[in-house]
Amino acid sequence: MFKQFSISAPSVSIKVDLQHKIDNKTKPLGSLGQLESIALQLGQIQNTLMPDVSKPAMIVFAADHGVVEQGISLFPQEVTPQMVMNFLMGGAAVSVFCEQHKAPLRIVDVGVKVDLEDHPLLSQRKVAYGSQDFSQQAAMSSAELAMAIEAGVNEANLAIDEGVNLLMFGEMGIGNTCVSSCMMTAITGITAQQSAGRGTGLDNAGVSHKAQVIEASLQRAERETGQAMADWSPETLAQQVGGFEILAMAGAMLQSAQRQTAFVVDGFICTVALLFAQKVAPQVREYAIFAHQSNESAHRILLDSLNAEPILSLDLRLGEGSGAILSYPLIQSASLFLNKMASFESAGVSGSN
């Protein structure tokens, strides 16, 4: 059993005052569109008329997956530690974008298959050397699940204790689109054919094979648990078909919400982490800002199921938190217009009749 979370809803009492402040800026009603919704959400989460996202941070969780042995990825597992090193050396897209926007980057090893050398940007929280191949057996033990969740909790606490007021999450792990699709199918009940996508570039035959592996894995898990997947608890689902980095992200999201801190959801894999977190504690959804709709085929279905409106749609399919950091300037603009833009009264501008 992993840590229990007690998440309260963002402030309702301040909502009227926030909306009044938004509506009385020198602009037609609603003319800043989605920025107004984000400003309102941030103000409610922080319970203030002056929300602040000036201290963001990006946390990328990395792990490997045993199901890669079933040939569901174009890339070999060796790419996971190679990309982690690329992050640490500043050569990855998320590294470049974080530097651009002065957002600290932290990489967390929760399950990479090899040992990584210490580095100032690396947090060593390895649960195991990758998950088990869930087409053959459960992905992890209950103890490993608890450790993965706790890794995310600890990383969120560390950042918030350091003054971070907006958390962004990303992931790295060869095979994790397959894991995410499997988790999505188990939670939502859609078919494996609907949830499986191209990932890092699979062709039609590769996508079909991935869907078959997902179906077989879920059937194996139903047989071994003696339960239909619709009846699985969050613990059962995670142990059977989860991934360490996805569960660590979920833990970080849950802890962020428990500490009333907004967080940014990246692409498909990160959104599946939120889907799982919502199964644990439904209120977590209210603290999430959705960065973008990715190129992964099931992401739109997933966003619709969460009633989420993403900020961007740039045909991205990179992962690693790249969409989250790209959305940050717009989230920042949402707080800045609320804090600095003149009101009709202060500017001496006539309002609408």
- Supply the residues annotated as catalytic: 320
Question: What is the token pair recorded at 49?
Answer: 């008329």
- What stretches of 210-314 adopt beta strand conformation (E)? 263-265, 288-290
C-beta of residue 268 within 8 angstroms of C-beta of residue 294: yes
Give the residue from 284, 275, 97, 72 showing the smallest Cα distance to 192: 72
C-beta of residue 110 within 8 angstroms of C-beta of residue 125: yes
Distance CA 59, CA 69 (A): 27
Beta bridge partners, 169, equal 59
Sign of CA dihedral 293, 296, 301, 305: negative
C-beta of residue 310 within 8 angstroms of C-beta of residue 293: yes
Q: What DSSP letter does each residue of 24-43 carry, written as one string? A: TBSS-TTTTTHHHHHHHHHH
Burial category of 203 from C-beta neighbours within 10 Å (exposed 0-12, middle 13-18, buried 19 and up): exposed
Q: Is 105 helix (H, G, I), strand (E, B) or coil?
A: strand
Distance CA 174, CA 111 (A): 12
Distance CA 297, CA 201 (A): 12
C-beta of residue 110 within 8 angstroms of C-beta of residue 148: yes
Distance CA 14, CA 54 (A): 21
- What stretches of 207-348 adopt beta strand conformation (E)? 263-265, 288-290
